Amino acid sequence: MSTTENLRTELLSRTPPFGLRLWVVLGISIWAAILFVLGCICFLLIYWRKQTNRNHDEIAEPEIPDVTKEIAVDEVGSRAFVENFCAQESHTFPVKERHTEKDSGKMLAHSTTSESSGDHKFIECISVQKYDRTQELYSGDEGSSAYDKREFSQSAAMSMSPRTGLPEFSHLGLGHGFTLRDLEHATNGFSNEYIIGEGGYGVVYHGHLVNGTDVAIKKLFNNMGQAEKEFRVEVEAIGNVRHKNLVRLLGYCVEGTHRMLVYEYISNGNLDQWLHGSIRQQGVLTWEARIKITLGIAKALAYLHEGIEPKVIHRDIKSSNILIDEEFNGKLSDFGLSKLLGAGKSHITTRVMGTFGYVAPEYVNTGLLNEKSDVYSFGVLLLEAVTGKDPVNYSRPANEVHMVEWLKLMVGSRRAEEVVDPEMETKPTKQALKRSLLVALKCVDPVADRRPTMGQAVHMLEAEDVPSREDRRRSRVAQIDGGDT
């Protein structure tokens, strides 16, 4: 018998105890060995992964909650910015000195101011850390990122409480974290008597913290997660910026489904109330007050567009979103509709939002949004401050319904002096009026590319009055007459 036949006979022979043939037993043994090796490999891999995760958890830092998502903000050096402006400077628009604190006494023409409890809107400028006072933009106004490189004590920030004072920053990077109980106590259980504003986004309450600080508390509606969305939008837009003309965020509350933002309380109303509302009965804003307010808003927008990255497009510039403090500084508010425009992007496409009369025409027609959309809205705001008229009012004569078109007709027919708010007792000089109208009309140019940047608008608004040709001629005649005598 050959070797092959012997091997075949052995493989076909039965083995105890189950009577299985030898080749079946060998097959089962081989597969069992393979499975055993694979099992050992899997066990070693799982054990190694667990050990790696355990070591990572021991050294990982606590993560910031999702609702506190922040944007990266980079400062633009003030020197480079000023040099850019100086390159564009001409003899027609030399730089004018800033308004001083003493000017605040001239803000009302024939009345005294008092605190207003009307409908206020309070914005979402989150001030989280101390910043370098030497970095200033736009003629000395404060504008900075929250990412200051100074070292701070986190333990000090975490231990601070609204019962001992309001902190400048917190370990979460969003101001002070208030509890729901803190804010309920501040508003007497969110009593209706404390409501100072209401809209589609939620309700704003006037709160009194236990340390005596007055605050504005924005309680967002939780309509199918809308509160969460609103919270994220406002935090992402200006979560790490600070500017003199942006209302300051003191803190926030995130408990369960509640989303609330706490801001400084501005008691002097908003521009809409001063121009068209109940506060107008208390007095009429002077020309100096109107220019100071609108210039401050221009500087805030210039900072948002040109001083940080990514850019912040406000998307809802209007008089009711311009709060006014006791010294008549304008403060930009309500960033609920804002969008971010990253580096290298000329525009973004989005659903058209805003207020009728203030929205740029190209944005309405195409949905393309960039900083020039805010420039247009600012131009309308400036014209509103000059004329005292609403952007759109169907109760006016047909040729005056749309303020911008009416003003263009008036300027074109050399009747610019007639557009000034008639309620103002002291009218502006011809040069001051001409400068403001020129800036505003440039901003509302129907072609977006022809509009100035907000930085350029600031530069033009701060320009000194240049004597007209007629004034120079009269001056020369007077000098000649004086010499003859």
Second CATH level (architecture) for the domain 284-485: Orthogonal Bundle (1.10)
Residue 135 burial class via C-beta count within 10 angstroms: exposed 0-12, middle 13-18, buried 19 and up: middle
Listed residue (178, 278, 162, 245) closest to 218, CA to CA: 178
pTM, 2 dp: 0.63
Dist CA 269 CA 75 (whole Å):
31
| Residue 223 main-chain phi, psi, to 5 deg | -90, 95
Q: Mark whether 316 is an active-site residue.
A: yes
Torsional class of 405: left (φ above 0), alpha (ψ -120 to 50), beta (otherwise): alpha
The domain limits of the chain are 20-60, 284-485
112 Cβ contact partners less than 8 Å away, ≥ 6 residues apart:
282, 283
What are the structure tokens assigned to 380, written together?
């309308």
CB 238 within 8 A of CB 127: no
Distance CA(400)–CA(219), nearest Å, equals 39
Which is nearest to 299 in space by CA: 118, 469, 137, 470? 137
Cα distances (Å, whole numbers) of residue 477 to 467, 481, 485: 15, 6, 12
* Phi and psi at residue 171, to the nearest 5°: -70, -15
Place of tokens 């006494």: 105
Q: Are 316 and 356 in contact (CB under 8 A)?
A: no
> Going by DSSP bridges, is the β-strand pair 176-177/248-255 parallel, antiparallel, or unpaired?
parallel
Q: What is the pLDDT along the chain (485 residues), one digit of tens a residue?
A: 578 878 778 778 888 877 788 888 888 889 899 999 999 999 888 888 887 766 544 444 433 333 333 333 333 343 443 344 344 444 444 434 444 444 445 555 444 343 433 333 333 333 333 333 333 433 344 454 433 333 333 333 333 444 345 444 443 445 568 899 999 999 999 999 999 888 767 889 999 998 889 999 988 887 656 556 667 766 666 666 788 999 887 888 888 888 888 888 998 999 999 999 878 778 899 999 999 999 999 999 999 999 888 888 888 899 999 999 999 999 998 877 778 887 667 677 777 787 889 999 998 888 888 899 999 999 999 999 999 999 999 999 999 999 999 999 999 999 999 999 999 989 999 999 999 999 999 999 999 999 999 999 999 999 865 555 666 666 666 666 655 55
Both tokens assigned to 217 = 């508390």
Name the catalytic one among 119, 182, 272, 316.
316
Q: In angstroms, rounded to a whole number, what is the distance separating the alpha carbons of residues 331 and 325?
A: 8
